[in-house]
Structure 1
Amino acid sequence: MRLAISNHGLRASGGIERYALTVVRGLHALGVKPVVIAKAFDASLPEYGWVEPLRVNVAWVPGKLRDLVFDRRIRALKRRHGLFPLIACNQTGAADIAICGSTHPGFLQAMGQAERRSDRWKIALEQEHLTRSAVIVAHSQRMAAEVQRFHGIAAGKIRLLYPPVDGDRFSPVDDAARAALRSELGLAPDRTVFLLASTGHKRKGLDLLVDFFRRTSLPVDLVVAGRPLPAEAQAPNIRSLGYRRDIENVYRAVDFTVMASRYEPFGLVGVESLLCGTPVLCARGVGCAEVLREPAQIPFTLDAGDQAPDGFAAAVAEAVKRQAAGTHRIAEPLAHLGYDPSVAHHVRELLALAEALRPAP
């Protein structure tokens, strides 16, 4: 059995690429060296030395067709090298274990976008990814439901397995270290500071937050880590921190993290923030809301009005109240998390699924 992983890239990035890196790291800790099929590799990463890389060059292919060509190359490489099982993080009909971190129909519906021809190609490839695999790993209950709803997959084929988080990197610090981080980032000591981590501002709900923070008279600030702010998002109490390689220190320094996403299949940001001791204002429907236990999260309804008791304004007011009372920090993060987020646990579960697929002797 030559265990393999496929993904768009093996590099330091967000979303599914970060997930693939984490899985490689966990496999390495168990002495397993997988084959990795990807379009791009960062050879400077230690993880690169822990895999057998198979690079697929699709740079010559028009952008909207690259995933289709990548799928065909994965199928050919799987046959040529005798790879089994293939844990596919990207959409491919070659998957034995299909990782489902999102669905394209779910995204289009949540974002209010009409389906185009290129979307139909993506959805067809996603259907093959899910239908041809032996088992589907859904990263949240929401994803399991979307797989059944949009793709007609039987519930018995789906395994719920929440994504892992590096507990060594994401962990609390003491009050003195936190104060030093806060000063280093220039965060006001007498204001309640909220963090939005975003590389896709529309999906993450930046416009909704800007509208609120511009109008509020509460002593609150919003800092945004990730993509630079557009000109229309500028305000005295809103500023950009840019892209951060030390996002764990930003979580530690702020008072709350905000997840106002229009579409968030899981949202590792929420779990990472909690593990750093920082509670989350979490829109209902965000995937990780399934596992964040109050008071680690303050839930709100995304489209509720300013005067609604379950709206964002009420959630912010509650957060300011807790911060003023000094009761907002989460001293024991794991006690407020509804699953084991360790990389070791997640990888052992994946290997158990892989072993179950091994043909009988």
Structure 2
Amino acid sequence: MKELPGINLIWHSIRPQGGMDRHVLDLINGFSLRGVPVRVIARTVAWPGSQPDNVEFVVLPDRTPFQRFNNNRFDHKAYGYIKDGWPVIGISRVTGGPVDLSVSGGTHLAHLIDKGKKKPGYFDKQVIANEKALYTNSRAIVTHSRRVHDEIVRDYQIDPAKIHVLYPPVDTGFFNMTLQRERDRIRESLGVGKDQFLLLFPSNNHELKGADLILKALEKQDTSFVLAVAGKKELKHPKVLNLGFRQDMPALYTAADATILASKYEAFGLVGPESISCGTPVLFSDTIGAAEVLSEPGCYRFKRSVEDLGELLDRMRERFRTGTLRVESPAKCIHYPYRFDEYLDELISLIQS
């Protein structure tokens, strides 16, 4: 196989947040560390710290105050800024030409269905059309769960032969168990007592991530439970500790007794393997893609109902009391090659094939 001359990578926002934003930062760093030049085409760039070597950022600034309009404009314009002769990785819903590899962390149509939105609006239809174009124009497609693979085949009528399931990697140099000795100190700095059960809720979209369901289940529990919200938007409730937007997620994972998501739609849910890698189990509703490759004692699943979550919280409280809640062997609970170098090897192989 020929060496990569460089990579065009198209993603709308380069910033230090969770989910796909975090994954894109890792991809750019990964290519840079291997000496592969990268041209990144984006709407905005807020790189954390020093920018990596051999990386060029091409910014297409917004033209309006309306994000959905700006996203749609970017999807149609970005392809015109690629460097000829370099393979193209499309992560935004880019249109305009052939793409060597697209990476899908979820589909908009399935997102709408799970939210209960029966009639797509104008911009929803634009997003769906852009997704269809991206998948059709992609030589190969990577999905971050089997669920998303099936959505693309079913809802967009794409040949399954060109779709490859590669579960997203975890930066184990960042998310690991090295902070275990600092756990008591971190909890104390958050104002959490040793007898309190700290549930970590990483969320920038509380409605989508299932906050209402979680709070209804917690209302039936005793006062030992504390829900720590890591995200920009506050959640007002007597049992909630609002931490704001945080970049010290390994410390928060380590401090927590469990991490929780009850999302209406979650194509994967990278917080799962991240939290487990830090020694903290996750409580995941059965709507979350990552649950298909995580197991107990790292991941406890529940049906997306107040009753089922309540029963699980009762079980977790008992394990908390007996001191048997921590994850001692993360690798035994994560059932896919989750180290980043393995993922990047597979990605490069697909680009070169």
TM-score (structure 2 length as normaliser): 0.93
The 8 Å contact of residues 299 and 333 in structure 2, kept in 1 or not, is answered as no
Give the match for residue 292 of structure 2: 290
Give the match for residue 133 of structure 1: 138
CA distance in 2 between counterparts of 1:59 and 1:43 reads 21
The alpha-carbon deviation at position 38 of structure 1 amounts to 1.0
The 8 Å contact of residues 200 and 227 in structure 1, kept in 2 or not, is answered as no
Give the match for residue 243 of structure 1: 245
Match of 2:60 among 33, 56, 77: 56
Give the match for residue 359 of structure 1: none
The alpha-carbon deviation at position 173 of structure 1 amounts to 3.5
Amino acid at match of 1:289: A
SS of equivalent to 1:71: helix
Match of 1:150 among 142, 152, 155: 155
Match of 1:322 among 299, 319, 322: 319
Give the match for residue 106 of structure 1: 110
Q: 1:31 to 1:321 in 2, by over 3 A?
A: same
1:172-209, Cα deviation, whole Å (9 max, x unpaired): 13653211111111112012211111000000111111
Match of 2:30 among 18, 26, 32: 26
Match of 1:338 among 335, 339, 351: 335
Give the match for residue 168 of structure 2: 163
The alpha-carbon deviation at position 57 of structure 1 amounts to 2.1
The 8 Å contact of residues 106 and 267 in structure 2, kept in 1 or not, is answered as yes
1:89 pairs with 2:94: no
The 8 Å contact of residues 198 and 227 in structure 2, kept in 1 or not, is answered as yes
Match of 2:237 among 230, 234, 248: 234
The 8 Å contact of residues 281 and 297 in structure 1, kept in 2 or not, is answered as yes
Q: 1:219 to 1:157 in 2, by over 3 A?
A: same
Q: 1:192 to 1:103 in 2, by over 3 A?
A: same
Q: Structure 2 unaligned runs (5+)?
A: none
1:74 pairs with 2:78: yes
Q: 1:256 to 1:119 in 2, by over 3 A?
A: same
1:133-163, Cα deviation, whole Å (9 max, x unpaired): 1011001111101111110112111001111
CA distance in 1 between counterparts of 2:65 and 2:255 reads 44
Give the match for residue 177 of structure 2: 172
TM-score (structure 1 length as normaliser): 0.91
Amino acid at match of 1:196: F
CA distance in 1 between counterparts of 2:54 and 2:201 reads 33
1:194 pairs with 2:181: no
1:194-227, Cα deviation, whole Å (9 max, x unpaired): 1111000000111111122223226322111113
CA distance in 1 between counterparts of 2:339 and 2:48 reads 25
Q: 1:329 to 1:25 in 2, by over 3 A?
A: same
Amino acid at match of 1:291: V
The alpha-carbon deviation at position 229 of structure 1 amounts to 2.4
Q: 1:175 to 1:5 in 2, by over 3 A?
A: closer
CA distance in 2 between counterparts of 1:133 and 1:177 reads 46
Give the match for residue 203 of structure 1: 208
Give the match for residue 128 of structure 2: 123
CA distance in 1 between counterparts of 2:149 and 2:313 reads 31
CA distance in 2 between counterparts of 1:193 and 1:315 reads 15
The alpha-carbon deviation at position 83 of structure 1 amounts to 4.3
Q: 1:318 to 1:218 in 2, by over 3 A?
A: farther
SS of equivalent to 1:96: strand
The alpha-carbon deviation at position 336 of structure 1 amounts to 1.2
Identity of aligned residues (%): 30
Q: 1:47 to 1:137 in 2, by over 3 A?
A: farther
CA distance in 2 between counterparts of 1:61 and 1:222 reads 34
Q: 1:53 to 1:229 in 2, by over 3 A?
A: closer
CA distance in 1 between counterparts of 2:108 and 2:291 reads 21
Amino acid at match of 1:208: L
Match of 2:21 among 17, 36, 56: 17
The alpha-carbon deviation at position 50 of structure 1 amounts to 4.0
Q: Structure 1 unaligned runs (5+)?
A: 357-361
| Aligned length in residues | 346
1:45 pairs with 2:49: yes
The 8 Å contact of residues 110 and 263 in structure 1, kept in 2 or not, is answered as yes
The 8 Å contact of residues 21 and 47 in structure 1, kept in 2 or not, is answered as no
CA distance in 2 between counterparts of 1:171 and 1:66 reads 37
